[in-house]
Structure 1
């Protein structure tokens, strides 16, 4: 019997890789014509474009070695350099003390210091929201300067976002820790990477290599997607798969692992889940992402791999230059920038015509002093309707309802960024795949799997 995996992104292919390596028959079902998902690459006008910037780095045991083993000679070691634009200046990130002292406005720094001092006059309490978390640790002035606008741009209203997101995404909880990290000679690896790996031909090569290993023990069916999951006696017994040429049915899978969005997944079950489960899934919200690729008639533009833009005067929250990851993704005399614009599905930016949206991004790139409008040699836009899980104040309760029902199906698992509604990176995806394979290969109990799910909650984003 086959182990069927729904979704050929890095989580699904990673799980398939570990199962195939153990000699198990694996079938990966992927609706696109190539794998990778959000960790994929595509070719446009001779440029190899990633779906947003990706560095290969991890503090999780074994993941860096796995990257190296998968990529072999394709694996480049890159010394990371990124920046933050604030108050009209660019600062290295993590911040360098001397640079910060010289460039940061003294009056603004004094206001931030005074505002932080006032936090000690207030009674301490457990932060509930994103705003609570940073007001307590930084004071109102620094919060408004560094974190408030960035939250509005990426995740939405900071008064409606859980403090959990702040703890996961930004590992410096206070000005005290911020200053401490500035003055230490070397950043902690769990806070910031000094170097990272990157594939010579784009991040999609990781999933290409994973798929090659899966094919040794099974199949990767591109251009296919599940249309029905039949459950009997607490097990998935049939998977109906739709292809361009028709439908097929996989009977009696040994296990089924989904990396699909939870709302999409629940719509496949026959019989359907209870109404309260469907309603809970619908209450899980996402933010969308617009990726504006701007092709430039210059060999290079940035000194950095990416630059954060926390201030709301810029439409994008981050700008990256993939050619600084690998010179092999663009012609020698050209490069491209990627501007990331977050928002809500069907908001005014999402519905904006492509040329108008590109012009908005280019205008702000020029305003930031990164390019001149005459440098531009075309644009390309990728829209991702559900990119960032929104950790609102009710998401935990709603997610628990959905997962409890899914975990009642004996031979079924849901993992990954979409499958667990998790704010995770590529290294976490591979780690999830490995942990799932161990769960299946060692025939562990559902109680043990619940503990593993709790472990996944300990993941942190490392910049």
Structure 2
């Protein structure tokens, strides 16, 4: 008799777990519950008036063999090869990224480049003896002057907190294997052995959601189930075993259809740990509940603009380090794939904003957000706001787990308790409260499926060595004089 595996969440982690189960444990039936209308989580592809939008920009590049194999097993020949082009907007100028020596020197000036070098040498001689936070970690590797220019304010924009309040291990995970000397050598030689700075990548021709839509279809073809508009609101627990989940459903118009209780033999979770712990019935121990409440998240929204002319810039994306505008990153969707646009005579631009659910940006009306995005696009000198002929707003709650000082201890408490559950595993970015990439989320899900099949993989140990990052976070701040070389 087939055993039922309840999978919470239909993002990359949840769907990978279900897909892998169909291969390694065919005697188990995965049943996926996804709260939204679309599979793929933050890697879904939204569509409005024929325009397709990638939320956050998802390159398909990995050093993890089994992930690479799954991508091509699912999508076959539906990948295109995309040249990587990105720049940094800083002090009113666009810098090539990865940095190009002569481009950077021409824009920042030889004198300032000398000061950056002197500052770097100063901090190599007298580094922080202990790296407790993001600021100390970066300064020890890049110097105070470069930190002042290219790290501080962008980091504050993305995370909404002082870099001193971001743990050093986030930097170690996300700016892996890159130093100032390596960046300079790459700029001079054109060499590039840093995984985050690849020159081209694979991409589904219709956006990343194409991958997850096909995965969901294959899961169902193999006997599994994928339920949309189905939110898990409660997990029933008997001692150290999960026995069932409550699933709240609604129809396409948003009308509630009621709640049902679904039993299962095994459970794989990819929802955020805070919501997970608070959904336990009976409740988790008080100290675990308190720890879960100390896990914080950064929300995200993207304002997509349609322009009345073709691409105003050739980049896949531009990092906006200027504190004069609120936008953090700008995407050009045609630079990902021409098939993301229904009209070649228009442009589709994604203006990305990092925020909190209770702040002014999140609560702005869609109309006001579209006006703001158009005005900021003009302020950055990419296109006049009068060229905006359409717009669409996408909001994403709990997009990024925050690595603040209290999160490590809180996560340790929550993880220890979850490890004690006999038939329950948690995977993915929010399921592990770890800011990892798509391929890393998929690998943790593969491990969970293999564990059900009899393996003994430690999901929590799949960490920074398997992860690498795209951005080198960057910026300026007036109070950084103490970091500058005299």
Match of 2:285?
274
Match of 1:182?
187
Q: The residue matched to 1:429 in structure 2 has which SS? A: helix
Aligned: 1:26 with 2:37: no
Q: Indicate the larger mover: 240-249 or 18-27.
A: 240-249
Contact 1:288-1:342 at 8 Å conserved across structures: yes
Give per-residue Cα distances to partners, 1:273-307, cap 9 Å, x unaligned. 01111111111111111211111111222211011
Q: The residue matched to 1:458 in structure 2 has which SS? A: helix
Instruction: Decide whether aligned partners of structure 1 residues 64 and 289 sit closer, same or farther in structure 2, where only a CA change above 3 A counts.
Output: same
Task: Give the drift of 1:462.
Answer: 3.4
Q: How does 1:213-362 map to 2 (within 5 A)?
A: 213-215=218-220, 216-244=222-250, 245-251=257-263, 253-330=264-341, 331-362=343-374
Contact 1:20-1:213 at 8 Å conserved across structures: no
- C-alpha distance in 2 between matches for 1:109 and 1:162: 28
Aligned: 1:167 with 2:172: yes
Instruction: Decide whether aligned partners of structure 1 residues 236 and 123 sit closer, same or farther in structure 2, where only a CA change above 3 A counts.
Output: closer
- C-alpha distance in 2 between matches for 1:128 and 1:140: 16
Q: The residue matched to 2:237 in structure 1 has which SS? A: strand
Runs of 4+ with deviation above 3 angstroms: none
Give per-residue Cα distances to partners, 1:194-253, cap 9 Å, x unaligned. 2211111121011011101211221111121223222124211222222233333323x2
Match of 1:147?
151
- C-alpha distance in 1 between matches for 2:440 and 2:367: 36
Give per-residue Cα distances to partners, 1:381-418, cap 9 Å, x unaligned. 12223222110122111001011111111000111111
Q: The residue matched to 1:62 in structure 2 has which SS? A: helix
Q: Give the gaps of 5 or more residues in structure 1.
A: none
Match of 1:453?
460
* TM-score of the pair, normalised by structure 2: 0.90
Q: Give the gaps of 5 or more residues in structure 2.
A: 251-256, 471-486
Q: The residue matched to 1:164 in structure 2 has which SS? A: helix
Contact 2:304-2:351 at 8 Å conserved across structures: yes
Match of 1:106?
110
Aligned length: 457
1:65 counterpart (62, 69, 73): 69
Give per-residue Cα distances to partners, 1:71-108, cap 9 Å, x unaligned. 12321111211111233322221112232233332332
Q: The residue matched to 2:163 in structure 1 has which SS? A: coil
Aligned: 1:9 with 2:11: yes
Task: Give the drift of 1:13.
Answer: 0.4
- C-alpha distance in 2 between matches for 1:327 and 1:262: 37
* TM-score of the pair, normalised by structure 1: 0.94
